[in-house]
């Protein structure tokens, strides 16, 4: 299951992690966000133990969203060793996520 990242746990769970972390910035009211939700869940199961995969609700966590300049959602950041190494914006097919993950693990 995808983890819920928040303003309070982002530093410890994402920035301080030595694993690749995939972060889906989303909101309840966003149709494309809801469309990729099941893909994010599938990936979290498939890469369990190898890659951290989670979500940030932009409405509830404005600090993290602002820090990363999230202006349109869904926005998916690929973060490794505290740095953004890749990014996808908008609803994407699962294959695009897999390509990015495989390139960075």
CA distance from start to end of the chain = 19
Catalytic residue among 14, 20, 23, 30: 30
Name the active-site residue from 14, 20, 33, 70: 33
Reading the block at residue 61, the tokens are: 């966590």
Question: Known catalytic residue: 33?
Answer: yes
13 catalytic, yes or no?
Answer: no
Token pair, residue 90, equals 């908008």
Handedness of CA 53, 57, 60, 64 (dihedral sign): positive
Q: Which amino acids are annotated catalytic?
A: 30, 33
């Amino acid at each position: 299951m995808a983890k819920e990242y928040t303003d309070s746990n982002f530093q410890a769970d994402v920035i301080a992690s030595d694993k690749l972390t995939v972060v889906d910035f989303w909101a309840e009211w966003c149709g494309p966000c809801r469309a990729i939700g099941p893909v994010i869940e599938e990936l979290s199961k498939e890469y369990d133990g190898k890659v951290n995969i989670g979500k940030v609700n932009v409405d509830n966590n404005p600090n993290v969203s602002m820090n990363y300049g999230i202006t349109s959602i869904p926005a998916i950041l690929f973060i490794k060793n505290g740095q953004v190494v890749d990014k996808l914006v908008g609803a994407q097919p699962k294959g695009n996520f897999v390509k990015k993950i495989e390139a960075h693990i």
